[in-house]
Amino acid sequence: NNLMLPNAAMPHVLWELQGTQEAVFEEAAGEGDAAQKVFKEFRQVSPGRLSPAEFDRFVRDLVNFLAYVGEPMQLERQRLGIWVLAFLLVFGILAYLLKQEIWKDVK
């Protein structure tokens, strides 16, 4: 079950790789005499096809791939951005010096 949105129809798409897990809750003091359940951890009910370390590596690789697919030109854009900022810095300095030269007699 989804902890953020209970009873939502959102199955875990990688459950075969990770295995079935069960949420473990602990009792915590709530307002007044009422106790509330607080999520503590997930407990492995049945193992998946991958070990926990293999699953973590798989998810890390999948997330990195999806980040790359989402913006494949990111590395080139960042490399070009440094040159653009350097140009703007030089242009700004030259513009300031030109302004000083033009307006020196006005003051």
Question: For residues 25 and 3, what is the distance between their CA atoms, to the nearest angstrom?
Answer: 11
Tens-digit pLDDT profile for residues 16-29:
999 988 889 888 87
Same domain, 87 and 65: no
Q: What is the pTM of this model?
A: 0.60
Sign of CA dihedral 62, 55, 20, 27: negative
State yes or no: pLDDT of 11 exceeds 70. Answer: yes
* Total count of domains within the chain: 2
Whose CA is closest to 55, among 81, 1, 19? 19
Domain containing 102 equals 73-107
* 37 sits in which H/E element: strand 35-47
78 and 99 co-located in one domain: yes
Pick the closest to residue 42 from 60, 29, 55 (CA basis).
Answer: 55
Kindly state whether residues 28 and 42 are assigned to the same domain: yes
